[in-house]
């Protein structure tokens, strides 16, 4: 067991955190679940969890001098490529959640960052989930990828590459749904003003919300009922393929994988251009 050094922005004193193998600078950040971050069952939206992950990644990267404060003047930004989340349960309104995150360094162009989620303080008995993400560095204008060793010190890269992994699998490459051009989408979304982030495209958290909306629409269509379906999200994989710019129209398609997961795909309207693929894991209320 190896101590992971914690750099915390919260009021809670996280002096140390024990994880299996590897030493890395980590950051732990505590949040109280707001009503605006929850669904009609008072459970945290998975998109809100991704938002917390994004903020935690920003804070931790800043503390390591590889965040926006360091990269912005250089005309460089972080872009998300893939994400995998698995949760045993999602916290409810007014619950607390602690998001711990650490860098695992680059593998070629991709930079790995993992997470562990706690409810009720940092303790192995309070773990409610994990996540893994893949990022790459790019020019702010045009988003052309940049090699990590051109920006980040070799010493920092080497120390982070020995950090522990949250999962025993890598973020998956999701398969093409083979949707016929004439097939009607389950849902259509628009890249409106409130969807666009500082990188000039739809923020990564919005895709997760779109995927869950597509799941709800598909469940409603399958049941023949136009009503909210009480499902609990237990996991999510997203592969970001192509940027979605302001004003774009995105058609969403869904195919069932099994009783507990669906595959979703977003395409630019009247085009075969795929912009993202997602797998959503869920449980219906009667399965709990």
Fold classified for 2-160: Thiol Ester Dehydrase; Chain A (3.10.129)
pTM comes to 0.89
pLDDT band at 281 (very low <50, low <70, confident <90, very high): very high
Domain spans of the chain, in order of start? 2-160, 187-287
> Residue 109 to residues 136, 145, 266: CA-CA distances in angstroms?
6, 8, 25
Average predicted confidence (pLDDT) for the chain: 87
| Exposure of 245 in the CB half-sphere (CA atoms within 13 A) | 2
Tell me what percent of the residues of the chain surpass a pLDDT of 70: 89
- What's the confidence (pLDDT) of residue 182? 64
* Structure confidence by residue, pLDDT tens digits, 189-203: 999 999 999 999 999
CATH superfamily of 187-287: Hotdog Thioesterase (3.10.129.10)
Q: For residue 38, how many other CB atoms are within 10 A of its CB?
A: 19
Output phi, psi for 156, to 5 deg: -65, -45
**If pLDDT is split at 50, 70 and 90, which confidence band does 24 have?**
low
| Pure H helices in the chain | 46-63, 68-71, 154-160, 204-223
pLDDT per position as a tens digit, 46-88? 999 999 999 999 999 999 889 999 999 999 999 999 999 999 9
Assess contact for 101 and 53: CB atoms under 8 A.
Answer: yes
Can you tell me whether residue 103 is helix, strand or coil? Answer: strand
């Amino acid at each position: 067991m190896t101590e992971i050094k914690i750099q915390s922005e919260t009021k809670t004193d996280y002096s140390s955190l024990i994880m299996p193998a590897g030493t890395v600078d980590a950051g732990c950040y505590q949040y109280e679940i707001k009503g605006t971050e929850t669904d009609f069952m008072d459970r945290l939206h998975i998109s809100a969890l991704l938002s917390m992950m994004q903020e935690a990644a920003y804070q931790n990267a800043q503390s390591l001098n590889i965040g926006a404060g360091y990269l912005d003047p250089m005309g460089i930004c972080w872009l998300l490529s893939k994400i995998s989340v698995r949760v045993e349960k999602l916290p409810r309104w007014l619950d607390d959640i602690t998001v711990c995150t650490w860098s695992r360094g680059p593998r070629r162009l991709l930079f790995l960052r993992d997470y562990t989620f706690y409810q009720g303080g940092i303790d192995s008995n309070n773990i409610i989930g994990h996540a893994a993400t893949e990022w790459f560095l790019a020019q702010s204008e045009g988003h052309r990828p940049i090699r990590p060793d051109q920006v980040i010190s070799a010493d920092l890269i080497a120390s982070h590459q020995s950090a522990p992994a949250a999962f025993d699998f890598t973020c998956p490459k999701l398969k093409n749904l083979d949707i016929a051009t004439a097939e009607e989408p389950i849902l259509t979304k628009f890249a409106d003003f409130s969807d666009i982030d500082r990188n000039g495209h739809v923020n990564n958290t919005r895709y997760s919300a779109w995927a869950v909306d597509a799941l709800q629409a598909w469940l409603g269509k399958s049941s023949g009922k136009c009503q909210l379906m009480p499902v609990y999200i237990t996991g999510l994989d997203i592969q970001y393929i192509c940027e979605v710019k302001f004003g774009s129209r995105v058609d969403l398609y869904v195919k069932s994988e099994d009783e507990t997961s669906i595959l979703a795909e977003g395409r630019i309207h009247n085009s075969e251009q795929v912009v993202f693929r997602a797998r959503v894991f869920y449980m219906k209320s009667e399965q709990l």
